[in-house]
A and B are shown apart, each in its own frame.
Chain A
């Protein structure tokens, strides 16, 4: 029934997951940097952080991806070539550009989530950690960070679910056979539109259900100590 497309679908799911995981991890890094900038005592950083979240959240993801791919990546590789860092025919891997661009977009949302999480921390937590003499890494790694994450986890889960769906945008900028691309190729070739698009929907549903299951487990774990006896 699958007309030999089963293997391609499997590869598509793996590629979709690969793009999602990579872009999400990059998004988390941008998010931590963005939140740190927006909460920084220095005005310059706060302005930069605000520009980041305002612009990225305002523009369509597709437009940002096209800008990253056709404008920024081209300009950067041209610059690198002109100073002799790379050969003149160099171009960035489309996968890398797309994953960084998607991560940059998710990072803007993560920035807002983490910022809200930090602001929701009672001031006393930081006071107590400072009074005990805990160093910066211990303060954030053991005391404040876990509490921010507990607060932010549901919203970060939403960003992850969006990441799995946005991953299909990658086929705009290169020959990537992610789940959606495979299904539209198969549908066009066999005219079995209902079958193959339903199959694509099923794949995304599967990813989403498994994700939610994992996120729920993480959420329950992160709430340990919160219940009242």
Chain B
């Protein structure tokens, strides 16, 4: 199989439960290289759990996940290889508060990829430039605004030069006036051909960049399709209800 034809991420029949709570029910999903997928759904629908399964932050009880042709197993080597190639951005940024912005960015490239400091630093400054905050490199995360912190978090993930990026509600914890700057950064990233899976309720973002929108509810993929078709003509009652709520709150 050539690299172009190989799927970036596949999930086959993935099931997860926490105790008696069945969080993911038989999820199957194939994401192509370079595809941009937006995942939406009410809270508790399993969307975060699903993307957290992809880099092994959450365990699943049955099913198969492969990333870039590597099967995700409990085996430490497969986890290690997959995490090298999958970047993740979290709702609450999760920058390391005791390290400067630059140290946050060079830590993984140096310790995981074995990069020399000078090389890692140059790479970090390049990505900090792309997210438009190179002048903050020497500051600590708490000295930055939420939007700036999230852009650092994106730069930090990109410094590992991942093949897939996961976003778990990246703008949900931000003040409204900072949402735009983070979304702009993500739009730019989408333009670079990065494979992206993004859990978000930003429907404008979904329309602008998503190749496909996935609607989840009750641990299942209920409906999926191109954003325009899906938003314009939702087939299921559950999606209609969800869209009505989203529109009302925006």
A residues touching B (Cβ–Cβ < 8 Å)? 122, 124-125, 127-135, 138, 142-143, 146-147, 150, 222, 224-229
Contact = CB atoms under 8 A, between A and B. Distances in A.
Contacts, number: 86
Interface of B: 55-57, 80, 83-84, 86-88, 90, 92-100, 107-108, 111-112, 139-144, 153, 156-157, 160
- Looking at B87, B99, B111, the one whose CB has the most chain A CB atoms below 10 A away is B111
B4 to A, nearest CB: 25
A225 B141 contact: yes
A113 B125 CA distance: 38
Given A134-B112, A138-B111, A226 B97 contact: yes
11 contacts: A124-B92, A125-B94, A129-B96, A131-B55, A131-B86, A133-B80, A134-B111, A142-B96, A150-B98, A225-B100, A229-B144
Given A124-B90, A127-B57, A226-B142, A135 B97 contact: no
B90 A128 contact: yes
Contact of B99 (A124, A132, A225): A225
B87 A135 contact: no
- Looking at A122, A130, A132, the one whose CB has the most chain B CB atoms below 10 A away is A132
Nearest to A224: B98
Nearest to A138: B111
A129 B156 CA distance: 11
A133 B57 contact: no
A147 B144 CA distance: 19
Nearest to A223: B98
Contacts of A146: 98
Contacts of B95: 128
A135 B111 contact: yes
B107 A142 contact: yes
B98 A229 contact: no
Contacts of A131: 55, 57, 83, 86-88, 157
A134 B110 CA distance: 10
A133 B98 contact: no
A130 B84 CA distance: 10
Contacts of B108: 132-134
Nearest to B58: A127
A228 B144 CA distance: 8
A222 B80 CA distance: 30
Contacts of B153: 128
Given A127-B57, A138-B107, A133 B96 contact: no
A127 B84 contact: no
B160 A133 contact: yes
A133 B142 contact: no
A115 to B, nearest CB: 20
Given A142-B107, A142-B111, A229-B143, A127 B94 contact: yes
Nearest to A142: B107
A138 B111 CA distance: 7
B173 to A, nearest CB: 11
Nearest to B166: A131
Nearest to A225: B140
Nearest to A144: B96
Given A127-B57, A142-B111, A229-B143, A133 B84 contact: yes
- Looking at A125, A127, A135, A226, the one whose CB has the most chain B CB atoms below 10 A away is A127
Contacts of B107: 132, 134, 138, 142-143
B83 A225 contact: no
Contacts of A147: 96-98
A135 B111 CA distance: 8
A222 B108 CA distance: 22
A127 to B, nearest CB: 6
Contacts of A142: 96, 99, 107, 111
A118 to B, nearest CB: 15
A124 B94 contact: yes
Nearest to A130: B57
A147 B84 CA distance: 24
A135 B100 CA distance: 20
Contacts of B90: 124, 127-128
